[in-house]
Structure 1
Amino acid sequence: MGDFPDLPVRPALPRIVDALADGGAAVLVAPPGSGKTTLVPLALAERIGGRIVVAEPRRVAARAAASRMASLLGERVGETVGYTVRGDRNVGPRTRVEVVTTGVLVRRLQRDAELPGTSAVILDECHERHLDSDLGLAFTLDSRAALRPDLALLATSATAASEQLAAVLGGAEVLEVPGSPYPVRTEWCPPPVPLVGRSDPRLLDHVAAVVRRALGEADGDVLVFLPGVYEITAVAGRLAGVGVPVVTLHGRLPAREQDAVLRPGSARRVVLATAVAESSLTVPGVRVVVDAGLARVPRLDQGRGLGALVTVAVSRATATQRAGRAGREAPGTVYRCWSEADHDRLPPWPEPEIASADLTAFALDLACWGTPTGEGLALPDRPPAAAMEVATSTLRALGAVDPDGRVTPRGRVLAGMGVHPRLARALLDGAPAVGERRAAEVVALLADDTLTGNRGDLVAARRALRDGSLPALARRWRDEVKRLIQAVPADARGAGDGALGDDLAAGLIVGMAYPERLATARQKGGRTYLMAGGTAADLGDGAGLAGAAWLAIAVADRSPGHANARIRLAVAIDEATAVEAGAALLTSADEVRWHDGELVARTVDRLGAIELAERPLEPDAHLRAQAVRDGVRKEGLNRLGWSSDARALRERLAFCAAAIGPPWPAMDDESLLARADDWLGPDLTTVRRRADLQKIDAGTALRRLLPWPEAAHLDDVAPERIQVPSGSRIRVDYGDPSAPVLAVKVQEAFGWAATPTVSGVPVRLHLLSPAGRPVAVTSDLESFWRNGYPGVRAELRGRYPKHPWPEDPTTAVATRRTNVRR
């Protein structure tokens, strides 16, 4: 077909095109560099009429694919082959193949689900499992089923994870292209010393060393995979003096700099890249890949609403895909910075983005499609219920969906603005307040914080973009600002409040986007802030915002194991601006509570979790008593005034509850706290502080729980004292509710043939020597006299000769004296 390069996919092109003829659907599995991204669309364009739309997950890949296909045809981009990415479009009247990002495809489907003029959709690199990729696949399948049965659909993957894709496509045919353009040899290069975590700087030292080794051992350009821009910058510094140019490739680069890396060069070079270089594009000249084995993926802290980019180990599938970059143009080598044993322990596939990312925009797209929960759509994986609930709650707060989750007219406007719903809301509602240009300038920075040039102060970053201090970024920023201004509906435009300066206007927009991140300093001049969402956040060292009383925080993240978030990008504001931006979070509530040993009664104005002002409050008796009850629960019952008589009464009542049961009340802490109103109620109304609790007579209060008429017989069922044979009345110890204890001298128990009982419960006798020391414990006195007493008598009669030690204690006369008088 055509004069196509001899790549592995070329022999399979007739079979692929036949599978898609007449609106067919298929899954194509082909390794990196096989030509699936460039040759398949051109072959389809030769066979079928209409436009072929190729959807790529990344902008750089979309532009690169279009450029490569145009060069194969000997044309310029914009003729037969064009592209459309956010903020950049290059197509013409003759364009047959259009490469778009998956986000652009989703927006087109939302505008017109029939995709008029489009004959085939190719979803490239579906294995990467981005949110837009999942939506693009699901919406296209839904459109085919309901509106466009003639629309051909091809889902491609560079890995063998085809079964799930085929099932999602309704059992579509799986077409596999075997082999790789060229063989790739693997070198295992684990670090020489154990590393501490994935952020250990020694790993970057090791990667730089492996790059130097690769330059000395192999020919061709070296493509180095690193997780992010920070690591790219660090490794570039470590490669100073390496003898060849070191260039970078990542999503933060301006388009022309990205395109320059993708053009063949005359000199050997080292290309330091992020995941953008994993698929769908060829970095010319590469014969060697050095893989650090790491990737940076988004994670959302659902409870705090804070996102973070987390560094994780790559999957085996991703490692295979990266290695394939070395064999696209000639035999190559991959240097993996880990061991073969570690490789076997890697996860087989990357985690889909839907499992851990912020789903707010995803949920809005579902609502706009008419499927708020995604039910009925052919999504490869169901969205997590908790994340969807958080996303839907956010959309309800923005007015984007109704209580049933259906999209509102306002929601459709927000969805059409091409930014996250939070930012769309800030642009829509902020434009009348500060003017659409100022609002758009800030939203453009929030939508792509790489435009700030690593500044933590958003206002300073905007100033640098305006005055030309960041020339490489200014053009991209201005283009996005222009696009956003055009996206503002006519009825939302306005000159804005001229009295609000640029800095506060920026803070207002940031606060409108992220009201829960409005923050106030915990102490004057401090670097720790409390956000309206309730999370503490710290300014980094050297941040220019130190000392600000209030911040509107644009970017913050929280690393695993850290209680506080880190502030990455913010604006200094004042309290009035915070209150205006976070109006939906303002509350005023009466608060009556027990705090740190005091009754607190006040009216509090809050912005979320932030206290703005308070006023004294005189609560009614009921609220006061309820707060004091809470205080008793916190402080514990021991805070009450417990005399020895009160403790004894509690123990007697506890015995009654255990031995007899209802109506005798339980006396454990939990039960008493549950009935605090019944016995403490009258005393709580006078309590103001901890010292007042100690003035409550617990014994008098407990008597309020005595059941009547049973209370009149308390001395019968649980007597305070028991008269022993000697005539003494000895206090009973009810400390153990299951067994009352009576401590009595052996001589005073003579004549007792059997164990005494209380309410049918045998008393536990602690038998004492004449000196009051324990000699035996028994609940079976008859057995003791028979078996234990002879030994006690033999041991003690010599020690205490003046005391009686009869052979038969059951018939002897009890006495408190030394010997019985005759």
Structure 2
Amino acid sequence: MRKTIWNQDHDLPIYQVIPDIKSTFHQKKSAVLVAEPGAGKTTVVPLALLEEEWMQHKKIIMLEPRRLAARNAAMRMARSIGESVGETVGYRVRMDSKVSSDTRIEVVTEGILTRMLQHDQALEEVGLLIFDEFHERNLHGDLALALALECQSVLREDLRILVMSATLEAEPVTSLLGDAALITCTGRTFPVETKYMPKLHHLDMETHMAQVIPLALTQQEGHVLAFLPGAKEIHRVMRMLEGQNLGPGVKVYPLYGALSQQEQDRAITAADTFERKVILATTIAESSLTIEGIGAVVDSGLRKDSVFSSRTGMSRLVTIPISKTSADQRKGRAGRTAEGICYRLWSTLEQDAKPEKNRPEILTADLAPVALELAVWGVQNPEDLRWLDVPPAGAYAAATALLQQLGCLDDRGHVASRGKQIAGMGTHPRIGHMLLQAAKLGLARDASLLGALLQHGSSRLLGPKAGWDLRPQLEHLRTISAAGSASAAFQDEAPLRSLIQESRQLYREVETRQTEGESLPPQEFCGLLLAFAYPDRIGQRREDGRYFLSSGRGVRASSAMSGLTAPYIVVAEADDQGADGLIRTCAPLALADIYTYLKELITTQEKVFWDKNTRSVRSLQWQKRGEIILKEMAYPNPPEEDILQALLAGIREEGLSVFSMNKTTHQLVERMQFLHKVNPAWPDLSGSALLEYLLSHIPPYLTGVRSASGLQQISITSVLLDSLSWEQRQTLEKEAPTHYTVPSGSKIPIRYDGQGAPYIAVRLQEMFGLTESPRLGEGRVPLTLHLLSPAQRPVQVTSDLNSFWREGYYEVKKDLKGRYPKHYWPEDPLQAVATNRVKPKGK
């Protein structure tokens, strides 16, 4: 190291705890530093630890959650030791790096540390990893820490890990790091007055912001830092401020992630002597970023957040209230160098209702990048690593399913060669897959433009030029990219310059794989490129004009999309709310392209099913992309087992009405049910149980049957009888016979359809001579006798015939003999001869 850090401002509070930090790392491998805003931790700690003995002349890697903060921290450290960035201190961020062979402190961001760990899992050249502003709980920060802890425990016991934050809940982190040391440091801030200024109901947030900013300029000296949710809101407020007299020397600067490095630097670097700045910023300026001279903060209290739905596989960008922790971070920007004022554009009641802290990104984000990185690392189950918050199981399962669709993982969840290639690109797996597939067709340049557009969001970059159809947008980007710096649009639109720069970075990732391709207009291939990235969002038009996606999700067009009539589309962005999401951007897709370029995603499904309309078994073959049916064909010669299952499903759906059940069948059911009541070992055929019993015994009768008319031909009586064993059939005939032979010799049918016991209806004269009532059901149930007059009218119902002969017969005889004098009415019915005639023969 060429310069010593002690040339810095020793009044910074962080110097008070530097000895504690050094002492800790002589004894422990991990530590947590909670240092309040203004303490100086970001720029002092790495330099203070660089020459420690345990470092053994290795590097320090510090992870910053934001690119601007990473560059800014590296420049401040380099300046403090009298060097340029890229010498002892350098940085690596996406699309930009300044390091050299002399660099020993590297400030990195986004997925850079993850790439380093994947390239060298032991981090042989690194002595210390620092995770700065860890309270932001960036997705890449959580992932990198989990991998770093695995590296430390398995490969590098000497690797030191330091987690730093200004507003961190320290206990869970110290526990995660293995009971790490906790070091705290006060900050150096000045009092900041808080003024709550909720907007009137008729005002929108941007108008209210444009009213409060001039007030802040008059009430407080110094620069004004205003926090807005996104670039769209920033530019709207800028236009509103242009028409106002803000005072002498006041200039307005935007500050958000899509701006170029030069434009970001203009917003944060020291102003000229007579210049006052109004900096309109997103959360990029919330922490880790030093902007000198801020006297007032105007806070909208809002931020943009991407909410991912594992159910639909879609993300939607929402504007949500910030947490109390974020509000305090923003307020602290005004108290770095002098007393300040924070204007909060909400009420004290709204302040009380705010959540204490932001939700960690890992709980709400698309986890496909995390799942791919873990697969490359060799981990299939995220619970095998140590996390503050384990990735949610549902979102993680959806991520692995997507990676398998993209060919990044095999069927067992192991990383495939394509997955390793895409992981090395450092882009989202969807975009990486699109680039690789496009390169095979000679379309890598256009895919790179489209990939950059998808990563930034077309509506945020192209403004009025952005519409639902991505084809003209891609053509517009083509024109700008080809014109380069000569394009007026390219010169005037900073976000476009950033997008073109990013597209060139994406192209370099696949440039060597690019083949010679035919130059086609975007109308021919834009939808296909989208399909490579979003195979789960291929949509098929419904009759009502809505679209059904291959993921099984429905989407609809807005009233402004009257021209959207294509049979097939690919949805890039959708507002995933309600029963059907609202399409934001998409492009048409030719069916022929699905069969030509996505054939590995087409599945063939055979279905044999009961068609309730035709009341028959139908067999179809479908070619599908996900849940979409691309083509329907007849399915010849389906397996007999499939036909059987379809018939059984049809029987269950139609019910007993699908069968022809005659009087004999109904009587058989009643006889068997009677025996079930007597002996539960017999099958229960009551209600729905009869249908289930038939379903289990009818399959042998279904050979050759295909329709309801065929089912009508089946003898259900035979099905029921064949379901019984020989012994059961013998018991059935004995204990629940169809007829009973009375003393007269007549065979009287037994009825089992009553609510009570089985019964027969028989003329009284035919029962003479029988002393006791017959018994059925293993002798347990007396046969009920409906005794009839000669005219077949009931005269007595009894199940105790002996009692009737003794007590009731003579009263009945007295009544009937007068009406039927020719019939036989003996004095002693027990000794009389039974007859089915008027009188017995010979009487």
2:179 to 163, 171, 175: 171
Compared CA separation, residues 480 and 238, structure 1 to 2 (3 A):
closer
Distance 1:356 1:312 in 2: 13
SS at match of 1:445: helix
Please tell me whether the aligned partners of residues 54 and 97 of structure 1 are also in contact (alpha carbons under 8 angstroms). yes
Write out per-residue CA displacement over residues 248-267 of structure 1, whole angstroms, 9 at most, x where no aligned residue. Answer: 54334444443333345667
1:87 match: 95
Query: Aligned in 2, Cα 1:649/1:339: closer, same or farther, shift over 3 Å?
Result: farther
* CA apart distance, 1:810: 8.6
Hey, what's the Cα distance between the residues in 2 that align with 1:536 and 1:116? 50
- Name the residue aligned to 1:156: 164
Report the Cα offset of residue 351 of structure 1: 3.1
Task: Find out whether 1:298 has 2:307 as its counterpart.
Answer: yes
1:481 aligns with 2:481: no
| TM-aligned CA deviation for residue 87 of structure 1 | 0.7
> Of the candidates 630, 637, 643, which is equivalent to residue 656 of structure 2?
637
Picking from 219, 232, 256, the partner of 1:250 is 256
CA distance in 2, matches of 1:699, 1:816: 41
Match of 1:464 in 2: 476
Alpha-carbon distance, 1:612 to partner: 2.3
User: What displacement does 1:396 show?
Assistant: 4.4
**Counterpart code for 2:581:** A
* Further displaced range: 669-678 or 587-596: 669-678
- Cα-to-partner distance string for 1:170-196 (whole Å, 9 max, x where unaligned): 32221111356123445567788xxxx
TM-fit CA distance, 1:150 = 5.3
2:298 matches 1:277? no
Cα separation, 1, equivalents of 2:779 and 2:353:
68
1:260 paired residue number: 266
- Alignment check: 8 A CA contact 1:538 1:565 kept: yes
Structure 1 residues 652 and 432: CA distance shift in structure 2, 3 A: same
1:567 alignment partner, one of 566, 583, 600 = 583
Residues 34 and 539 (structure 1), Cα distance of their counterparts in 2 relative to 1, 3 Å cut: farther
Alignment of 1:731-742 (within 5 A): 734=753
Q: Name the SS for the 1:37 alignment partner.
A: helix
The yes-or-no answer on 1:546 pairing with 2:542 is: no
Q: Distance in 1 between matches of 2:242 and 2:780?
A: 89
Does structure 2 retain, via aligned residues, the 8 Å contact 1:297–1:312?
Answer: no
Pair 1:327 & 2:304 matched: no
* Equivalent in the alignment of 2:297: 288
| CA–CA distance in structure 2, aligned partners of residues 743 and 56 of structure 1 | 95
Residue identity in the other structure for 1:261: A
Is 1:582–2:598 an aligned residue pair?
A: yes
Counterparts of residues 345-384 of structure 1 (less than 5 Å): 347-374=355-382, 377-384=385-392
1:29 equivalent in structure 2: 34
Looking at structure 2, the residues matched to 212 and 225 of structure 1 have their Cα atoms a distance apart, in angstroms, of: 14
The amino acid across from 2:117 in the alignment is L
Q: CA deviation at 1:363?
A: 2.5
Q: Partner of 1:54 in structure 2?
A: 62
Q: Where do 1:506-655 residues align within 5 Å? A: 506-523=526-543, 527-543=545-561, 546-556=564-574, 558-559=576-577, 562-598=578-614, 599-619=617-637, 622-642=641-661, 646-647=665-666, 649-655=668-674
CA distance 1:629–1:780, shift in 2 (3 Å): same
Q: What pairs up with 1:415-430 in 2 under 5 angstroms?
A: 415-430=423-438
Deviations 1:452-489 (A, max 9, x none): 65443222222222223564333223322322232227
**Of 270-279 and 479-488, the range deviating more from structure 2:** 270-279
Alignment of 1:652-667 (within 5 A): 652-664=671-683, 666-667=685-686
Equivalent residue number for residue 46 of structure 2: 41
Letter in 2 for 1:57: P
AA aligned to 1:251 is: G
1:669 aligns with 2:678: no
How far apart in 1 are the matches of 2:256 and 2:656?
64
Bigger-Rg structure (1/2): 2
Question: What secondary structure, in the 3-state scheme, does the structure 1 residue paired with 2:111 have?
Answer: helix
Aligned to 1:530, what secondary structure does the other structure show? strand
For 1:514, the aligned partner's letter is Y
| DSSP 3-state at the match of 2:391 | coil
Could you tell me how far 1:28 is from its partner in structure 2?
0.8
Gap change, CA 1:692 and 1:475, over 3 Å in 2: same
Q: Secondary structure at the match of 2:425?
A: coil
**Does the CA-based 8 Å contact 1:517-1:553 persist in structure 2?**
yes
Letter in 2 for 1:515: P
1: CA distance between counterparts of 2:785 and 2:262?
A: 95
Segments of structure 1 that go 5 or more residues without pairing to the other structure are 193-201, 768-777, 786-807
Q: Tell me the amino acid that sits aligned with residue 37 of structure 1.
A: T
Question: Could you tell me how far apart the structure 2 residues matched to 1:763 and 1:250 are?
Answer: 94
Q: What is the rounded CA distance, in whole Å, between the counterparts of 2:97 and 2:396 in structure 1?
A: 33
Alpha carbons 2:371, 2:396 under 8 Å: kept: yes
- Structure-2 separation of matches of 1:154 and 1:430: 42
Deviations 1:264-288 (A, max 9, x none): 5667676554433332124552523
Return closer, same or farther for 1:242/1:150 CA change in 2, 3 Å cut-off.
farther
Alpha carbons 1:67, 1:77 under 8 Å: kept: yes
In structure 2, the CA distance between the partners of 1:658 and 1:278, relative to structure 1 (3 Å rule), is farther
Query: What is the deviation of 1:29?
Result: 0.6
SS in 2 for 1:361: helix
Contact 1:219 1:288 in 2 (8 A): no
Letter of the aligned partner of 2:620 in structure 1?
Answer: R
Shift of 1:752: 13
Cα shift at 1:515:
1.8
Corresponding residue SS for 1:461: helix
Q: 1:790 aligns to what?
A: none
SS of residue in 2 equivalent to 1:350: coil
Counterpart amino acid of 1:30? A
Q: Cα RMSD over matched residues?
A: 4.8
Match of 2:836 in 1: none
**1:813 aligned onto 2:819:** no
Equivalent-residue separation in structure 2 for 1:517 and 1:283 (angstroms): 43
What is the TM-score with the length of structure 1 in the denominator? Answer: 0.79
- Residue pairs, 1:691-710, within 5 angstroms: 702-710=720-728
The farther-off stretch of 142-151 and 115-124 is: 142-151
Distance 1:476 1:207 in 2: 25
User: CA 1:282/1:460 → structure 2, altered by over 3 Å: closer, same or farther?
Assistant: farther
Report deviation, 1:495: 0.9
* Distance change >3 Å, CA 467–CA 645, structure 1 → 2: same
- Give, in angstroms, the shift of residue 124 of structure 1: 0.6
Checking the alignment, whether the CA contact within 8 Å between 2:61 and 2:108 is kept in structure 1 is yes
Q: How many residues align?
A: 769
Report the AA paired with residue 35 of structure 1. Answer: G
Structure 1 residue matching 2:91: 3-state secondary structure = strand
Q: Mind listing any 5+ residue stretches in structure 2 that lack a counterpart?
A: 1-5, 481-488, 787-796, 819-843
Q: In structure 2, do the counterparts of structure 1 residues 758 and 418 end up closer, same or farther at CA, with 3 Å as the change threshold?
A: same
Q: Are the structure 2 counterparts of residues 759 and 298 from structure 1 closer, same or farther at C-alpha, using a change threshold of 3 Å? A: same
Aligned to 1:493: 514
- Secondary structure class of the residue paired with 2:609: strand
User: Identity rate of aligned residues, in percent?
Assistant: 33
